[in-house]
Amino acid sequence: AANIGRTLNDFDGLGRAQPLIGIAMVVFLLSLVGIPPLAGFVGKFLLFAAVIDVQYTWVAVVAIINSVLSLAVYLRLVVPMYRQGNVVVARTDIWLKAVLIIALTVTLLLGVFAQVFVGPFA
């Protein structure tokens, strides 16, 4: 999977051929956008709250708009992954699967149980 390619067309069908990799990519990209209940949401929420706290609301507004726009950029990666494509299904290494599952679990747990790690948001 690490040698898929460098162009968007190289990702055609990856999500169908390698479902674990496809799901992981989607979850990680949604986390980068800041979709709850993922870890990226918690980070962005705390960052935007801190910026608003110091009276730089305009910076928070620009950052939120940027986050929304980034969704369009990330969808340009996701859409080709689930189109019909010519991806050769290679045997996925057990270590790659383990790392993906651990990273997915941590991304979800940090988002869901954020208060345990960072304290109350208020």
- Per-residue pLDDT tens, the chain, 122 aa: give them: 455 678 888 888 888 888 999 999 999 999 999 999 999 999 999 999 999 999 999 999 999 999 999 999 999 999 989 988 776 666 778 999 999 999 999 999 999 998 887 877 65
Q: Which of 50, 28, 24 is nearest to 40 (CA)?
A: 28
Residue 3 within a domain: no
pLDDT score of 84: 82
* Residue 58: partners with Cβ closer than 8 Å, 6 or more residues away: none
CA separation for the pair 87, 69 (Å, rounded): 29
Secondary structure string (H, E, C) spanning 52-88: HHCCCHHHHHHHHHHHHHHHHHHHHHHHHHCCCCCCC
**Domain range for residue 57?**
16-101
Which bin fits 120, alpha (ψ -120 to 50), beta or left (φ > 0)?
beta
pLDDT score of 3: 57
Domain count, the chain: 1
Residue 5 within a domain: no
Residue 42 within a domain: yes
Residue 114 within a domain: no
pLDDT score of 71: 94
| Cβ(65)–Cβ(59) below 8 Å | no
Residue 61 within a domain: yes
Residue 116 within a domain: no
CA separation for the pair 82, 15 (Å, rounded): 5
Query: 26: buried, middle or exposed (CB in 10 Å: 19+, 13-18, 0-12)?
Result: middle
Residue 119 within a domain: no
pLDDT score of 105: 96
Residue 86 within a domain: yes
